[in-house]
Amino acid sequence: MKLTPDSSDGNIIQSFIPGTITLRDQTIHTNVIVSDNQLITEWAPPTLEALSIADFQPALDMNPDIILFGTGLTQRFPALTLMTEIMRTGVAIEIMQTEAACRTFNVLIGEKRAVVAALLIE
């Protein structure tokens, strides 16, 4: 699904289909962490049940106000303790399907918000 025309500076997610995210002129086939000016490809978190705050440290290091966690084709929630740990750092976290997280990321980037998306592509 095409999400937005390429009309601004910084990272904008152009499209998402299961297994592929297109960011500007780059096609990515791995889980990613993306901010307006940074990209971490090949983010390899463990299973959803085994996620820890250490898995989100690269996203937290980008100093966002909010992390959008795209959990793939369906919305699935990590452990409540993990979400609490992240929020204790002063960063909000929103959990949603990856396609929704991509759309929301683009909107928040357009509003010049400090947002990071941690995206599972499957």
Is 5 within a domain?
no
The mean per-residue pLDDT over the stretch 31-48 comes to 94
User: Considering the domain boundaries, does residue 45 fall inside one?
Assistant: yes
CATH of the domain at 89: 3.40.1230.10
- In whole angstroms, give the CA distance from residue 82 to residue 27: 30
What is the domain count for the chain?
1
65-92: burial string, b at 16+ Cβ within 10 Å, e else? ebbbbbbbeeeeebeeebbeebeeeebe
Q: Tell me: the pLDDT tens digits for 42-101?
A: 899 999 999 999 999 999 999 999 999 999 999 999 999 999 999 999 999 999 999 999
Parent domain of 105? 13-120
More confident: 3 or 11? 11
Average pLDDT, integer, range 23-38? 94
In a domain, 112, yes or no: yes
Q: Is residue 1 domain-resident?
A: no
Residue 6 confidence (pLDDT)? 45
Predicted model pTM: 0.92
22 lies in a domain? yes
**9-24 burial, b for 16+ CB within 10 Å, e for fewer?**
eebbbbebeeeebbbe
In a domain, 2, yes or no: no
